[in-house]
A and B are shown apart, each in its own frame.
Chain A
């Protein structure tokens, strides 16, 4: 986490070294491509095989329980971010989800709240900054983590900092569970990453554009203004008027 903050600080410091005909959203492309290559090598050599083995060993029902457990922990700060964005009703719903799922749902392994009609939301500090009108800043590929931007990477530092799992003791239990969390996450994404490999001519560009589009969509909660021709993913939305 501290290393991530350091990485962002270093990037911000060398942000001036840009090539003239780069994509305006991605002035650091040469560095990003290098980190992307590194991540891709790590992913193919270690993360994907581990995720595949994990998927092979554990039945889908058990994996869903594990996903639910982590999803429940995430809901605490999804609620905080909804409140920070002025979406009080969504925030209260998120905390109601935590209350029901942690109790009736047995520490979150059953998502009873969704069955009760409390829908899962998707928020983080990067989206909150976006809502507040902060532009995405340059696109960044973060070592081991992947596509991000200066704004979202900063948000990620806060996401990790405030994650309730940090407070769990003893560390001999907490740290292996962090590993499980990442492996489970990678396994969830196996289908998506094999599609990416199929569809893309240049995976770096395809992934970058998909990431930037997706974040824009998330900041607008799935209802971005429609546009057909123009292509400036960089602009920030107006702050929510609610």
Chain B
């Protein structure tokens, strides 16, 4: 083998490796890995089992949050009103909405008691950049509860921009609520309402 051929081979190998590294983890694999990892952490952690909310929020912040696109979620929930919001208002909305969703998510997780999960095979083409990842929570004696993650491919990997539980999309559900508040008291009113709700939840734990 001549030097040129070896160089050529090495170069193509490098390209292959680089291409592989670029390939983001498949969305369904991502959902499964993160779900199982988080549930495992929660079940094994004595403090969380004893009701330590702060520790639970830490786990969610570290393991779950990076895989959500809160800007997309907030803009979708705001609908048309997103266009009229100033950059500062947008930032406050994203922050407040994220806090509310995380707290709700934490309560849902805290109610978890060894239900089994059925991770459905992904029905999407490899070229798709917007997919639905379906998970079903199995419960004895009743119909399985579907949890559907709408996920979009971004430069930083796949990110969820909506979650639907039993067919109820969080983003769609908040859209009417947000629109109603904005109509009566403006975008600043909505920011105030969200922040007040978060403070109230914080005090209650």
Task: Name A residues whose Cβ lies closer than 8 Å to a Cβ of B.
Answer: 23, 64, 67-68, 71, 111, 114, 119-122, 191, 194-195, 198-202, 205-206, 209-210, 213-214, 216-218, 222, 224, 226, 228-229, 231
Contacts and interface: CB of A to CB of B under 8 A. Distances in A.
B168 interface: yes
A213 B100 contact: no
B169 A201 contact: no
B31 to A, nearest CB: 17
B172 A213 contact: yes
A216 B168 CA distance: 9
A205 B142 contact: no
A63 B100 CA distance: 32
17 contacts: A23-B176, A111-B141, A114-B140, A114-B141, A120-B141, A195-B107, A201-B177, A201-B197, A202-B180, A205-B180, A209-B173, A213-B168, A213-B172, A214-B166, A222-B146, A226-B132, A228-B76
A222 B107 CA distance: 25
Given A114-B141, A205-B177, 8 more contacts: A111-B141, A201-B194, A202-B177, A209-B176, A209-B177, A213-B167, A229-B79, A231-B172
Nearest to A219: B167
B167 A198 contact: no
Contacts of B193: 201
B176 A205 contact: yes
A209 B108 contact: no
Contacts of A205: 176-177, 180
A6 to B, nearest CB: 30
A116 to B, nearest CB: 14
B140 A111 contact: yes
